[in-house]
Amino acid sequence: MQGCDASVLLDDTANFTGEKTAGPNANSLRGFDVINTIKSQLESLCPKVVSCADILTVAARDSIVALGGPTYTVPLGRRDSTTASLSAANSNIPAPTLNLSGLITAFSNKGFTAKELVALSGSHTIGQVRCTSFRARLYNETNISDSFATSLKSSCPTRGGDNNLSPLDVTSPTSFDNAYFRNLVSQKGLLHSDQQLFSGGSTDSQVKAYVSNPATFRADFANAIKKMGNLSPLTGTKGQIRTDCRKVN
């Protein structure tokens, strides 16, 4: 939570509290095995050179490219934290229940504009969400397409099934495209926070612009995620290069 320093990868131990059990992360974050495998392969080929923070940043870029999204250069040389902050993870990660003003504030607190908020939210063109993260929208909100809501209710009932997954982008869940924004215009945003970006407020026009001009979305997204990867990196003698992403050396 202090920046792009791989603190999120640290496991809890008897005398160390990490961020994995924070409310927004617990039972949600996944794919740690992929990072750990990359790390162990790098450590056997070239020990103590590539940090876990650099692995995460490059893996994010390469995953976006593999699914058809834009490419961008990733400056390297981040070092890994020796600390983590459960309290910051609990308080700084924006909740899916936030309204537009809350989302804008959360991003502004980290130095991002409202325009960058909308561009970065376009990453919800891939990935999956647990029922518990969108149940209230499904059953209580009115700015949701009827057919879309109906299609989700069997895997996300009013009770039970909290961890059942649904795609964030109902139309093309494994393509990094601008369908997320088209979905918002048809009231098919899965999270309350997603639909907030197109609900009669100041960001509606940008959502529409990304629908009609996918190249603008690609360019804006690439710039914004590059900026996110450069948030307060540890360099020089700060931090360390972990040999195992799950624990400090």
Nearest distance, CB of residue 170 and ligand HEM, angstroms: 14
175/185 Cα distance (integer angstroms): 18
The verdict on whether residue 44 carries a ligand-binding annotation is: no
Of 17 and 132, nearer to ligand HEM (C-beta) is: 132
Q: What does residue 239 show for φ and ψ, rounded to 5 degrees?
A: 65, -155
Of 22 and 225, nearer to ligand HEM (C-beta) is: 225
Of 28 and 83, nearer to ligand HEM (C-beta) is: 28
Tokens of 186: 């048809």
Nearest distance, CB of residue 189 and ligand HEM, angstroms: 11
Nearest distance, CB of residue 15 and ligand HEM, angstroms: 28
The verdict on whether residue 204 carries a ligand-binding annotation is: no
Of 82 and 92, nearer to ligand HEM (C-beta) is: 92
Tokens of 14: 């008897």
The verdict on whether residue 5 carries a ligand-binding annotation is: yes
The verdict on whether residue 141 carries a ligand-binding annotation is: no
DSSP track, 183-248: HHHTT--SSHHHHHTTSSSTTHHHHHHHHH-HHHHHHHHHHHHHHHHTSS-B-TTSSB--SBTTB-
Q: What residue is closest to ligand HEM based on CB?
A: 127
Of 133 and 172, nearer to ligand HEM (C-beta) is: 133
The candidate with the shortest Cα–Cα distance to 191, out of 115, 102, 109, is 102
Binding stretches for ligand HEM (CB under 6 A): 28, 30, 94-96, 103, 117, 120-121, 123-124, 126-130, 133, 191, 193, 225
The verdict on whether residue 33 carries a ligand-binding annotation is: no
Nearest distance, CB of residue 52 and ligand HEM, angstroms: 18
The verdict on whether residue 232 carries a ligand-binding annotation is: no
Of 56 and 129, nearer to ligand HEM (C-beta) is: 129
The verdict on whether residue 80 carries a ligand-binding annotation is: no
Nearest distance, CB of residue 171 and ligand HEM, angstroms: 16
The verdict on whether residue 125 carries a ligand-binding annotation is: yes
Strand partners, 79: 234
Q: How far is CA 248 from CA 6, 87, 196, 241, in A?
A: 11, 19, 39, 9
Residue bearing tokens 């949600």 = 28
Residues near 105 by Cβ (< 8 Å), separated by ≥ 6?
none
Nearest distance, CB of residue 166 and ligand HEM, angstroms: 9
How many Cα atoms sit within 13 Å of 127 on the Cβ side? 17
Sign of the C-alpha dihedral computed for residues 120, 93, 63 and 48 taken in this order: positive
> Residues comprising the binding site for Ca(2+)?
3, 5, 7, 19, 125, 169, 177
> Residues comprising the binding site?
3, 5, 7, 19, 94, 124-125, 169, 177
> Residues comprising the binding site for heme b?
124
